[in-house]
Structure 1
Amino acid sequence: MFLKLLGESIRFAWQVLSTNLLRTMLSLLGVTIGIMLIIAVFTVVDSLEKNIKDSFSFLGSNVVTVDKMNFVQRDPNVPFYIYFRRPSNTYDEFEFLKSNLKNASHVAFFGTRSSTMKYKSSSINSINIYGISNEYKDVYEVDILNGRYFTANEIESGRNVAIIGDEVAKSLFPFESPIGKSITSRGQKLVVIGVLAKEGKSLLGTPSSDERIYIPYKMFTKMFYVGRFGVSPSIAAKGYVEDIGLVELQNEMEGMLRKVRGLKPKEESNFALNRPEAIADAIGQVFDIVGYAGWIIGGFSILVGGFGIMNIMFVSVQERTKIIGIQKSLGAKNYFILFQFLFEAIFLCLIGGATGVLIVYFLTFIPAGGLEISLSMKNILLGVVVSSVIGVVSGIVPSAKAARLDPVEAMRAG
């Protein structure tokens, strides 16, 4: 019965389309534009959100870091200088957490500071030099294209070795391999043992591994002052997947840090526990507002389109009044007539919606600078669902009118 109704509805809808092509196209235009606007807004919003979140991928995932201040949601009543007066993380605290944390798979320690790097007559400025512990590669992704990672002995002894980013390699060694060569910064010579794979620039211009250099942390302390008025290192702990929201890890870290720093129960913590997801959540709230705006803009267009579809359905009922009378006289039930016209309205809206989605799909091929735009299956399904709902809303009144027609009066009207 369903397939029969669907087949007849598609056939009648096609007749409406082919017989009154211009009228139908103008009526479907509102649905097409409305769906196109909504899907376009959500596609751009989703793409922007993804690209921006990818820009913060250097912060890692499923990771909790110990810093002086929060990434987001700082207390507005606390003066900014208070955060700088907080004690810096120490290597001893890192080793204590690494030895005692039960809810962390790996714990890393690192500090960063920008500097100039030289090789012979070539130099590159504002390069982020990271002093890292051996566990850094287990917490954050370190994708080495050529060469190797540090050995445990090189890390522990603070050897003068380095892993450089793609941009550093191209700037200092445009015509030769950097492996085994010595580069200089702040009076220290560093032997290159590895080159990172190219990452490319992010949408927000956030730090990229292309302009980064990794060295052992103990070597880093020979080049930069570490402490309250110098570099403030971070401790990063990678949690387990089963620890939803890393709640257990954060609670354990807070308890251990308060203990090792000798804080009393009523004293406020003099450190901040941060998660990259906090930034992602803040970004998501902004894009939610943009999404609501998309619904409002597209909603008006869909409303106009819905009235257009309703008009087509009323005309279709009027033109097929005699046919309805014949169907009823032959035993057709009211629900059969109702669903016949309702499916027709849904089919017409789906044509308009599919056209809108198709337009958005072709628009994604237009270059948008550093923004990579893609139409997701979620948004395609959204277009289909919204079109179907508009079809039901627009077609229910004309369909109900057709279903309630008296067969005798319907045949006389024809």
Structure 2
Amino acid sequence: MKFLRQIYESFRFAWQALKSNITRTILSLLGVTVGIFAIVAVFTIVDSLEKSIRDSLKSIGEDVFYVQKWPWGFGGEYQWWKYFQWPSPSNAEYKFLYDNMEKASAVAVMDFRGGVTLKNGSNSMDALIQGISYEYNQISDVPLVSGRYFMQQETSNGRNVAIIGWDIAQALFPNQVAEGKIFKLAGNKFTVVGVQERKGESLVDFGGNPDKKCIITYGSFAKMFQSGRPDPDIVVKGLPGDEGLKEAEAEVIGLMRTKRGIKPRGENNFSINRPEAAAQAVSGLFSVLTLAGWVIGSFSILVGGFGIANIMFVSVKERTNLIGIQKSLGAKNYAILFQFLFEAVMLSLVGGLVGIFLVFLLSFMQLGSLKIILMPSNVVLGLAVSSVIGVLSGIIPAMLAARMDPVIAIRAK
């Protein structure tokens, strides 16, 4: 209890010292405030960017990989010119994988066409058209605000039915119920069977913004847009127990090589692309930004730390006589040490709290489509850095105060 009481007294002395020198306190914590603001702000923006991108990656499916002609980024095992010679995946290859795969929970085929105009009377809108097979909703969620998903018979027969995005529904059928309505796409009549939930603008939309997307059956898409050289994507979703999707990938490679008649020593002429690869590339970029935030913030914190240390030396000098009186009345060295150390830590923490509060205010600002979110982990980081800076800045002045001879200290003027 005596130890706790002495700690409490040390806190009380520190608080009184800070209140008695408001101007000096404010000037001292400015450096820490700017430094913590810089670090926490960069971390918060980076985390918000990363969350936005990862959420967008989830929209193209989890535990999936894509069989495509082109790799997601060159510089792989082949020279760039070889990719041009590779054939594109085909609907026949999709059906072959669908019929023969045992290590997959779902296999789907899809393709895109952008800038296609949808019309309903005088109302029109340019949209991204996505053709999908029936299994697509097992690969990626298709959240609907109204209506239904495609029936298997509709996709098998290539019926002209569509699931439209929120913005498309508002543009083509303002103040109306969209389900059951008919619109024209590339001169063909389509019936709306469902409307997707509104997502809103986001920083990155892998696979397109669903609000501006029109999903149709793959059969209809192929008839309208694949008369030339089709280049669909085959999507494979692995089984839950397949860690790293190694078994599914190995099976796909074997089946694709068989379907394309590639000899045992022949090179693969298709690419296996994973969303995780894009996520890892994003993480590498964000690591650089995080490092930049540390560097920028460290300079400000360094200045703030020297400012706090300087103020603490001045504070010890001003209160030398009081230190002597406290020690002559029985105050232990650790009580004097804690008194000045707590003062430095409190000073640094106040500066850190102000910096974190400024980041909190930043989260209310509208930065385009990016939603700024102050994570609890970043708050803890800011407070931890502030505490460490306070300890490092105040430890030497506090030790000098604790080691003073009480007789000499009392005589000081």
How high is the TM-score relative to the length of structure 2? 0.90
Structure 1 position 218 matched with structure 2 position 222: no
Check the 8 A contact 2:10/2:335 in 1, yes or no: no
Inter-CA distance 362–209: structure 2 relative to 1 (3 Å threshold) = same
Q: What is aligned with 1:321? A: 320
Indicate how the Cα distance of structure 1 residues 372 and 330 shifts in structure 2: closer, same or farther if over 3 A, else same: same
**1:59 is paired with a residue of what secondary structure?**
coil
**Amino acid across the alignment from 2:182:** S
* Partners of 1:356 and 1:319 in 2: CA distance: 29
Instruction: Name the CA distance, whole Å, in 2 between partners of 1:339 and 1:253.
Output: 66
Aligned length: 410
| Counterparts of 1:280 and 1:257, CA distance in 2 | 26
Report the Cα offset of residue 248 of structure 1.
4.0
Other-structure match for 1:65: 66
Give the structure 1 partner of residue 51 of structure 2.
Answer: 50
Contact 1:200 1:210 in 2 (8 A): yes
Q: Which residue of 1 aligns with 2:231?
A: 232
Q: Following the alignment from structure 1 to structure 2, what is the Cα–Cα distance between the partners of residues 102 and 400?
A: 70
**Structure 1 residue aligned with 2:24:** 23
Q: Note the alpha carbon deviations across 1:243-288, whole angstroms, 9 max, x for none.
A: 4543443334333323333323432221111122222222222222
Distance, in Å, in 2 between the alignment partners of 1:205 and 1:164 is 16
Structure 2 Cα separation of the partners of residues 404 and 267 of structure 1: 79
Q: Structure 1 CA distance, aligned partners of 2:329 and 2:250?
A: 74
* C-alpha distance in 2 between matches for 1:230 and 1:113: 13
Paired position in structure 2 for 1:250:
249
AA aligned to 1:195 is V
- Residue deviations 1:219-266, cap 9 Å, x none? 22222226xx52311111223555454344333433332333332343
Equivalent runs, 1:296-375 vs 2, <5 Å: 296-329=295-328, 332-375=331-374
Question: Aligned residue for 2:210?
Answer: 209
Please give the alpha-carbon distance, in whole angstroms, between the structure 1 residues aligned to 2:394 and 2:53: 41
Q: Which segment is superposed worse, 51-60 or 37-46? A: 51-60
> CA 1:256/1:341 → structure 2, altered by over 3 Å: closer, same or farther?
farther
Give the Cα separation in 2 of the matches to 1:2 and 1:102: 68
Q: Return closer, same or farther for 1:248/1:7 CA change in 2, 3 Å cut-off.
A: farther
Alignment deviations for residues 127-169 of structure 1 (CA, whole Å, 9 cap, x no partner): 2222211110111110111211111121222222221222222
Report how far residue 330 of structure 1 moved. 5.2
Which residue does 2:95 correspond to in 1?
A: 95
2:74–2:80 CA contact under 8 A, matched in 1 = no
User: Contact conserved, 1:43 with 1:376, CA < 8 A, in 2?
Assistant: yes
CA pair 145-26 structure 1, distance change in 2 beyond 3 A? same
- Secondary structure at the counterpart of residue 131 of structure 1: strand
Q: CA 1:274 to 1:336, structure 2 compared with 1: closer, same or farther past 3 Å?
A: same
CA distance in 2, matches of 1:384, 1:102: 52
1:333-362 deviations in Å (ceiling 9; x for gaps): 433433332222212111110111111111
Letter in 2 for 1:174: P
- Letter of the 1:14 partner, please give it: W
User: Match of 2:283?
Assistant: 284
Equivalent in the alignment of 1:272: 271
Separation in structure 1 between the aligned mates of residue 331 and residue 249 of structure 2, nearest angstrom: 67
Q: Distance in 1 between matches of 2:265 and 2:257?
A: 11
Provide the rounded CA distance (Å) in 1 between the counterparts of 2:310 and 2:391: 14
**What secondary structure does 2:211 align onto?**
helix
1:165-180 aligned at under 5 Å gives the runs 165-180=165-180
Q: CA deviation at 1:55?
A: 4.4
Which ranges in structure 1 are unaligned for 5 or more consecutive residues? none
Which residue type is aligned with residue 250 of structure 2? N
Partner amino acid for 2:313? F
**Which range moves more in the overlay, 308-317 or 54-63?**
54-63
Q: Is the 8 A contact 2:7 2:335 kept in 1?
A: no
Give, in whole Å, the separation in 1 of the partners of 2:139 and 2:3.
55
Q: Deviation of residue 323 (structure 1)?
A: 4.0
Calculate percent identity across the aligned residue pairs. Answer: 50
SS in structure 2 of the partner of residue 405 of structure 1: coil
Unaligned runs of 5+ in 2: none
Quick check: 1:54–1:202 contact (8 Å CA) kept in 2?
no
Tell me whether 92-101 or 350-359 shows the greater mean CA deviation: 92-101
Q: Please tell me whether the aligned partners of residues 64 and 236 of structure 1 are also in contact (alpha carbons under 8 angstroms).
A: yes
Larger displacement relative to structure 2 (60-69 or 217-226): 217-226
SS at match of 1:14: helix
Q: Distance in 2 between matches of 1:2 and 1:100?
A: 74
TM-score (norm 1): 0.90
C-alpha contact 1:112 1:128 (8 A) present in aligned 2 = yes
| Partner Cα separation in structure 1 for residue 194 and residue 386 of structure 2 | 54
Within 1, Cα distance between the matches of 2:6 and 2:299?
31
| Partner Cα separation in structure 1 for residue 384 and residue 401 of structure 2 | 25
Q: Which residue of 2 aligns with 1:119?
A: 120
CA distance in 2, matches of 1:243, 1:25: 58
Tell me, yes or no, if the aligned pair for 1:6 and 1:343 is still in contact at 8 Å.
no
